[in-house]
Copies of this chain bind each other. A is one copy, B any other.
Amino acid sequence: MDARMNICAMNASTMSASDFTVWMSAQQAQVEARLSRWVPAEVPAGLGEAMRYAVLDGGKRLRPLLVLAACEAVAGHAEAALRAACAVELIHAYSLVHDDMPCMDNDVLRRGKPTVHVRYGQAMALLAGDALQALAFELLTPAVDTDANVPAAMQAHLCGLLARAAGADGMAGGQAIDLASVGQRLNEAELRHMHELKTGALLQTSVRMGVACGLDVPAQVAAALGDYGAALGLAFQVVDDVLDVTADSAVLGKTAGKDAAADKPTYVSVLGLQASQNLAAQLSAQAHRALDASGLPQVAHLRALADWVVNRTH
């Protein structure tokens, strides 16, 4: 986390930057521990090893943090939220594994390490991704007589939200548009639609899953947090496109300028750099207004996450 983010978090809420850092580290550690417990090492023929390589010790865990902060905002079921946080991260991780494969983006490095197919071969990468997706739905459906004690209706709701965000009307659909968009000139609406599906759906659904861990959350509160998630999800992608141009590879942890080199339409290519930066700021403001509209008192972590998304440097 960089200094700039700390300041923004401090500006944006009553919580201090160091409080947010402490909260974030604690949540990340908890998610990491659960992922390590739940992504099985003991799976035959190297599959478990590849799955763990794909998931553990990687990334900012933004989606899990959104689930946990949203659950906190609605004072929801903590164990359900931890499961939802890990489940959404598994979907994200599997999408990266498949996305990196030679038939897709053909990336050899991810978070500074060889990608899964480079390390374990394409067939194993394919299977590991498939198994991670299934595991996400396993985590969401603990047997009712276990310690987890997640109500069945909550389990079903969480599964439905995640399935819809991951599938053809969400992430996978966005990736299909992305594939088809190489070398195309998209207008802003088309670009926005692509990103709402490709990355926005899973980010917004992270918030929705956190809300779904609450009991009897009023519809207007859920809608406000949904608006927050939508604004944040789009802001994330706009900032991603900006960083692809402004950051260097070492800071970014992946190849900068890759989208431009691949002739993929981006916010920067469609709107220009300054307008993209302005749009990110507008979306951030929109996310904060949605939190205001929720009327919830416990939204400091959601506020800090919105600032973090916009002000991150990698």
> What distance in Å separates the Cβ of A186 from its nearest Cβ neighbour in chain B?
12
Determine if A131 and B47 form an interchain contact, defined as CB atoms under 8 angstroms apart. no
Determine if B168 and A159 form an interchain contact, defined as CB atoms under 8 angstroms apart. no
A284 at the interface (CB under 8 A from B): no
> What distance in Å separates the Cβ of A130 from its nearest Cβ neighbour in chain B?
5
Given A127-B175, A137-B162, A138-B167, also A46-B180 (CB < 8 A): yes
Q: Of all chain B residues, which has the CB nearest A51? A: B168
A153 at the interface (CB under 8 A from B): yes
List A residues 56-74 near B (Cβ within 8 Å). Answer: none
> What distance in Å separates the Cβ of A175 from its nearest Cβ neighbour in chain B?
6
**Inter-chain contacts of A155 with B (CB < 8 A):** 152, 155-156, 159-160
Contact among B134, B169, B177, B180 with A172 in the assembled complex (CB-CB below 8 Å): B134
Given A159-B159, A172-B47, also A123-B141 (CB < 8 A): no
Contact among B45, B122, B136, B152 with A176 in the assembled complex (CB-CB below 8 Å): B45
Mark each residue of chain A from 95 to 108: 1 if its CB lies under 8 Å from any CB of chain B, else 0. 10010010110000
A179 at the interface (CB under 8 A from B): yes
Count of this chain's copies in the oligomeric assembly: 2
Q: Of all chain B residues, which has the CB nearest A166? A: B134
Mark each residue of chain A from 172 to 190: 1 if its CB lies under 8 Å from any CB of chain B, else 0. 1101110111000000000
Q: Of all chain B residues, which has the CB nearest A104? A: B123
**A101, B40: Cα distance in complex, Å:** 26
Interface size on A, residues (CB 8 A): 58
Determine if A103 and B130 form an interchain contact, defined as CB atoms under 8 angstroms apart. no
Most chain B beta-carbon contacts within 10 A, residue among A45, A136, A157: A45
A273 at the interface (CB under 8 A from B): no
A214 at the interface (CB under 8 A from B): no
A135 at the interface (CB under 8 A from B): yes
> What distance in Å separates the Cβ of A11 from its nearest Cβ neighbour in chain B?
38
Q: Of all chain B residues, which has the CB nearest A143? A: B160
Given A44-B176, A152-B153, A159-B155, also A167-B131 (CB < 8 A): yes
Residues of chain A touching chain B, judged by Cβ–Cβ distance below 8 Å, are: 40, 43-48, 51, 94-95, 98, 101, 103-104, 121-124, 126-127, 129-131, 133-138, 140-144, 152-153, 155-157, 159-160, 162-164, 166-170, 172-173, 175-177, 179-181, 197
